[in-house]
Amino acid sequence: MTARENPAHRRAETSGRRATIVGAGIAGLAAALRLHQHGWDVVVIERAPTRRSGGYLVNLHGPGYAAAERLGLVPALSPRDIGFFTSVLVHADGREKFRIPAAVTEAAVGNRALSLFRGDLESVLYDAVADLVDLRFGTTVQAVAQSAGEVVVTLSDGTRLHTELLVGADGVHSRVRELVFGSESEYFVDLGHMVGALSLETVPDHVPEGVGTTFIGPGRTAAVMNLGPERSSAFFTYRCPDPSAELALGAAPAITRAFGDLGGGVRAALHQLAADPTTAYYDAVGHIVMDRWSHGRVVLLGDAAWCVTVFAGYGAALALDGADRLGTAVAAHGDDIPTALDTWERAMRPEAHKRQALARKGISRFAPPSRTHVRAGELMLRAIQLPGIRSLVRRSIQRANN
């Protein structure tokens, strides 16, 4: 199927109904696509001057893969699928401890799955909507006012948009949430950890191609993946009692202080981070916890509403699923937007709560409390290579996705 034939690229018959989406990330672009497919005229507002690229790996399986299918994205995503690669657990100096072959992960997850760089997923979504919706970069929301029939959105360039639906898909530090629901401090639940990720311009010499190396120590994890030129990346997370101090220090100094004693691929990644810190994503890890995700004709989506965090490993999938369901709920309820949003929220809340709970449980895998926990985790990773244990892991993954 060509891009022209792909359902994601078909221009829908317009109904004249207007939606404004704030945020051109995964959740925002997916919502724009689904609403357009249901006949809405869509404007997407993005504060960044251009669309983003790069980022860490995201996995689509279970409901996330099914949502990508319903949105018509799988044909365009499949060529960008990294697939399964060999994982190597390493010592602090980069020496190998043991490896988990790609076939083991594939057997555990199944074949209805995609592994993608976040930037590739956003690029496919952007390509799907670029000619169908009004995308405005370098623009922010200054004010929101709503009545029974519409929302008036005032932008930083002075434009006032009159819209029937406003979707805040602008991330954990959402401006829409702040304007409509209140300060971030009311909803952000700090999990006491930092996360950093960057694309690697130079292929890491100490990591064989097609391999991802991971160091796991008390309170921290560092992973470096060599998937070839322009396809390699590094990921860091560590326990932190004072996230605000780390953010003030900055990505390169803070991550280097936490991981500077490590060798191998981590050392090379830190050199690249120091050379250009602006390429890194770096932030505190926390959930967004709210009693309501909607107010009148304004709704929050993705990290702006729930933020399951990287510890859940399901943020991109939940963003796609949430966007797909949102568009479907709005289409099903016609002009009754508040009822559509209530219906959507009741359907999404159990999944978001489940993923947040799994993330809290998963912290100990990414930042083990002690060396004893590190050793226990290594025993578990070795055990999943046994056929019987591998089957148990696959059933556990399937249960988590039901």
Whether residue 97 is contained in a domain is answered as no
Same domain flag for 200 and 274? yes
**Residue 256 domain-assigned (yes or no):** yes
Q: Is 133 helix (H, G, I), strand (E, B) or coil?
A: coil
**Measured over all CA atoms, what is the biggest interatomic distance in the chain, rounded to whole angstroms?**
63
Q: The domain that contains 178 carries what CATH number?
A: 3.50.50.60
Same domain, 153 and 195: no
In terms of domains, do 50 and 156 share one?
Answer: yes
276 and 300 belong to one structural domain: no
Q: Same domain for 67 and 116?
A: yes
Q: Which domain holds residue 166?
A: 18-84+112-188+288-364
pLDDT mean across residues, the chain = 89
216 & 75 share domain: no
Q: Say whether 19 sits in a helix, a strand or coil.
A: strand
Cβ atoms of residues 85 and 227 within 8 Å: yes
Which pTM value belongs to this model? 0.89
Residue 5 banded pLDDT, cuts 50, 70, 90: very low
Residue 93 lies in a domain: no
Both tokens of 240, joined, read 């932190």
Query: What is the tens place of the pLDDT at every residue in 81-140?
Result: 988 788 899 999 999 999 887 766 666 566 788 988 888 999 999 999 999 999 999 999
Most confident of 226-230, 373-377, 396-400: 373-377
The encoded tokens of residue 312 equal 């859940």
Q: pLDDT band for position 3 (50/70/90)? A: very low
* Residues 264 and 328 both lie in one domain: no
What the block records as the tokens of 222 is 């560092």
Question: 77-99 burial, b if ≥16 CB within 10 A, otherwise e?
Answer: beebebebbbbbbbeeebeeeeb
Through-space distance between the first and last CA atoms of the chain, rounded to whole angstroms: 30
Residues 348 and 27: their CA atoms lie apart, in Å, by: 14
Q: Using one digit for the tens of pLDDT, what is the confidence trace for 283-300?
A: 999 999 999 999 999 999
Instruction: Identify the CATH number of the domain in which residue 279 sits.
Output: 3.30.9.30
228 and 360 share a domain? no
Spatial separation of the C-alpha atoms in residues 293 and 291, rounded to whole Å: 7
Distance (Å, rounded) from C-alpha 130 to C-alpha 135? 7
SS3 288: strand
In a domain, 98, yes or no: no
Tens-place pLDDT, residues 300-350: 999 999 999 989 888 999 999 999 999 999 999 988 999 999 999 999 999
Residue that the structure tokens 């997850």 belong to: 109
Q: Count up the domains in the chain and report the number.
A: 2
- As a whole number of angstroms, the distance between CA 223 and CA 237 comes to 9
Tell me if 293 is assigned to some domain.
yes
Q: Which of 134, 135, 129, 120 is nearest to 10 (CA)?
A: 129
Rg (CA), the chain: 21
3-state SS track over 22-81: ECCCHHHHHHHHHHHHCCCEEEEEECCCCCCCCCCEEEEECHHHHHHHHCCCHHHHHHHC
Looking at the fold, whether 372 and 356 belong to one and the same domain comes out as no
